[in-house]
Chain A
């Protein structure tokens, strides 16, 4: 009897094995090459949007429609003052153009005429002035702590209904970065219904308008056919995003056609799906992995106080191997904190340190490690989701003889060390891992890492401070760009933050419903906006 009892068990196991084996079969979709397309501004007849583009998200992030609070969806609904181009420059978003006075103090913004919010109110100078002041108000904007000297703002003046004047205390061409993050909200509507009611169902002037939101379940947008750039009106009538926390469910929904777009942070799975024939689309600027050495200028920082140890930690990392394995080829060696290839100030002088374990061991020996240090243990901190990655990186350091330990900390707790709360203890000599995205111009973020007043408390170097000051006080953006390159080359040599890799941003799409993406690829929202029908 007992033998017969085993028969169904074998049948079940065989079924599981067969199904698992079948995963590599049936490549029914055509793989397409990843491509980044530049925006075409041709005047063509715009067809009526139709169909629904469905997307799944692991989290809705900061679940809010207020663009000042880093809403996940603000890029869909709102236009900003300026926007970035695929080449990493800046152009007007609600602006048709802008002028900067010869002394660099006065910016004159010229708005696009006949531009309307989705409820019919005009995008006028009053709305722009209100939005700028709201964005610069630290009580109502999460972005304000990033910006210096109160947005360098002396006055915001309405010249006429389509012209706004922005006066600064000193020349600061890098303010374009802040302007490109300033979403234009509908002042007239806010005056009518109040901020709370407005942001519950906002009317923006972006390419999509909100038509449905079910808390924690889904959000739905409809193409704004009155969008001021007719050739950028979405091809899909609706864009619906579902919140699906479970990774396996998201992948299954994608494979069964229940969703058209799938973004993955799991590069091995993304590669597997790409190998099955699903096309991927690259978007945005590369992000970077880096390690920040907290207060390493202090002697109490232990081994990482010695630049040789910090350099050894860089030279012992096999960046190409990390790109090939952990990132399954979706990354390239190099980059620095908020500073990947192609961004403001990028220079080819910045080259990733080569993998040279012999040099690393020599530097470690020169530092007298471990005997020269009372406590030779180097502590790396990261959030829980990064543990596996950091353990992998640590294996390189251990291989050259460094004694490294890992401690996990909630990111939210770590923010308290950055000035956003009272820190529970001093963080001298800690190493914190950053997986950060980037912007076309990340001058302010970089200042936080490399200047004495920066919130990261990583670098305390007068030359770095002076070089950064030069970046933000030039008369022109081009001059600032050159200064930024000088600044980045210098701070790389300090080894207070070591860049590891630049990871590329991709999502998968279902070729049965999506033909490609013909819009700007400057970010996720902009890329989705250009989705075409199969």
Chain B
């Protein structure tokens, strides 16, 4: 198991540096941020001074060296746009995103497992059809449209919930609901289909013949064996949730990492985009690592395979 974890860790490190380099070069290929950061009426001298101040007059190689050095020292630099330490900006934004993302993700997982298992158990019932219908809707409807429609229906028309902000618990309902709606359908369908396969297997039939209670058969024996595929997918769903957070935070004006990323991208605020990408990459890689470990825990065969 230790060898398995070490190999996975090394792969994460390689992937992390790959992401770091790609982000660095893609951002610089997008154009010169000083043209966007300068006040519209800056003189040529002021633009040149700004470039020098931001270190943008140096070669890409030099900039990469400075960048890597600062990363090693845990320093994300200063926002080109806001003239504020990126670490502080992320410190402000990350908790807001986590406040939204973590409960949404957990809720989506719990709901998808419950609904998926029930749909598989009561196959072809009205309940199963309802779950399939929700899954189709969730996968077919674009996220931004769902978010805007949620605002239109629940805020503007019904006036039940606030449109934007994060002051009260009521402010969490629409953005969380939208994020759950992004994540739920895929996982729910997967749980349902894997459960159907497992429920059709010989050992489940044997368990039933042995007279085990149906609840034990379903929730203990069948679900544990149906967990492998969904667990793998959790790692892949997380980047999708981050993307969902970008859209959700934009629509619901949630001051989190997603909004910070959008604003920084449009302004070519390199340090902020780089830092947000790094944090997101660490989160995704970390979750993937945990998923891999839990995957190996659920299916002991995996830890013995050479990776």
Contact = CB atoms under 8 A, between A and B. Distances in A.
B263 A216 contact: yes
A421 B38 CA distance: 11
Nearest to B126: A4
Contacts of B156: 252, 255-256
Interface residues of A, number: 46
A138 interface: yes
Interface residues of B, number: 46
B171 to A, nearest CB: 11
Interface in A1-22: 1, 4-5, 8-9, 12, 16, 19, 22
Given A19-B157, A22-B157, A256-B156, A4 B163 contact: no
Interface string B23-61: 000000001000110111111111100000000000000
A1 B124 contact: yes
B161 to A, nearest CB: 9
A253 B163 CA distance: 6
Contacts of B165: 258
B89 A215 contact: yes
Contact of A146 (B41, B132, B148, B260): B41
A138 B155 CA distance: 49
Contact of B250 (A70, A215, A245): A245
Contact of A253 (B44, B82, B126, B164): B164
Contacts of A19: 152-153, 157
Contact of A138 (B45, B81, B262): B45
A420 B31 contact: no
Interface string B135-149: 001000000000011
A290 B4 CA distance: 66
Nearest to A216: B263
A5 to B, nearest CB: 5
Nearest to B165: A258
A142 interface: yes
B75 interface: no
Nearest to B36: A412
A63 B82 contact: yes
B41 A70 contact: yes
B84 A246 contact: no
Given A216-B260, A248-B148, A421 B44 contact: yes
A419 interface: yes
Interface stretch (B227-235, B237-245, B251-259, B291-299): B251-259
> Which secondary structure dominates chain B's binding surface?
helix
A366 interface: no
Contact of A415 (B31, B40, B262): B40
B84, B129, B137, B163 pick with most chain A CB within 10 angstroms: B163
B39 A249 contact: no
B186 interface: no
B203 interface: no
B253 A244 contact: yes
Contact of A258 (B38, B148, B163, B260): B163
A145 B41 contact: yes
A243 B130 CA distance: 39
A16 B82 contact: no
Contact of B155 (A22, A70, A215, A256): A256
A506 interface: no
Contact of B41 (A142, A245, A248, A258): A142
Contacts of A145: 41-43
Interface in A59-77: 62-64, 69-70
Contacts of A9: 133
A216 B253 contact: no
Nearest to A138: B43
B151 interface: yes
Given A256-B155, A420-B44, A420-B47, A8 B133 contact: yes
A352 to B, nearest CB: 28
A374 interface: no
B162 interface: yes
Given A16-B149, A248-B151, A249-B252, A420 B133 contact: no
Interface of B: 31, 35-36, 38-47, 81-82, 84, 89, 124, 126, 129-130, 132-133, 137, 148-149, 151-153, 155-157, 159, 162-165, 250-253, 255, 259-260, 262-263
- List the 7 closest pairs (A to B, CB-CB), nearest first: A412-B35, A142-B41, A142-B39, A252-B163, A69-B39, A253-B163, A252-B151
